[in-house]
Amino acid sequence: MNLFTNTYAAEMAPYSPGQKFDIGFDHVETGIAAEALNFGEAAVKNSGDNRIKKPAASGDKFRGIVLKSHTVETGKGYAINDPVPVLRQGRASVTTSGAVAVDAVAYADVSAPGNFTATATGNIATGGVFRSDVTAVGGGVAILEINLP
C-alpha cells in the first residue's frame, strides 16, 4: 500500500496569469469591478462610472492588467464590486488569445474579452509590448510590459 502519492509536476510553471513578473518599478491602482474579472485579464474603464470591466469595443479606454491577489482564491477571480488591483506600469503575466512574439506591440483583444493579442485591427492599444513569446495558435500565458501615465 502506497502511503504517499506525488501528483506534482517535476517543475513549477514559470508564471500564471496576473502575477507581477519581477520586483522592478511598478505602479498599481485599485479599481472596482463592474463585472467578474479574472487574473491577468485586460481592464478597461466602464462607461458611465469609474469602475472597470473587460473590453467590449475598440473605443474602450484601457486601464491596465488585472493582478492576482493572494486574498482571492485562484480560479474564482474578482466578483462585481470587488476592489481589484490594476497594473498601470510594470511587467505582469497575461493571457493571450493567440501566438505572440517578443517585442510585439500588445493590444487588448475585443473578440476575446480579457485576453491580449498582437493584432491591432479592431482592438485596443495598451501602450505595451510582449516580453515573452507564445507559440501556440490558441494562446497561452505571456509577459506584458506596460507604461501607462
Q: What is the pLDDT of residue 13?
A: 63
CATH number of the domain within which 124 lies: 2.40.300.10
* Average pLDDT of the chain to the nearest whole number: 91
Taking the C-alpha atoms of residue 114 and residue 111, their distance in angstroms, rounded to an integer, is 9
- Structure-block grid coordinates of residue 93: 503575466
Give the whole-angstrom CA distance, residue 117 versus residue 127. Answer: 13
Q: Which domain holds residue 72?
A: 27-147
The answer as to whether 141 is a domain residue is yes
Is 121 part of a structural domain of the chain? yes
Does a structural domain hold residue 138?
Answer: yes
Into how many domains does the chain fold?
1
> Residue 6 — very low, low, confident or very high, per pLDDT cuts 50/70/90?
low
Cα separation, 11 vs 129, in Å, equals: 27
* Residue 8 within any structural domain of the chain: no
Instruction: Quote the percentage of the chain above a pLDDT of 70.
Output: 91
Q: Could you tell me if residue 53 is inside a domain?
A: yes
Is residue 72 a part of any domain in this protein? yes
pLDDT 10s digits, 63-122: 999 999 988 887 789 999 999 999 999 999 999 999 999 999 999 999 999 999 999 999
Question: How large is the average pLDDT for residues 134-146?
Answer: 92
Residue 4 has pLDDT above 80, yes or no: no
* Residue 47's pLDDT band (cuts 50, 70, 90): confident
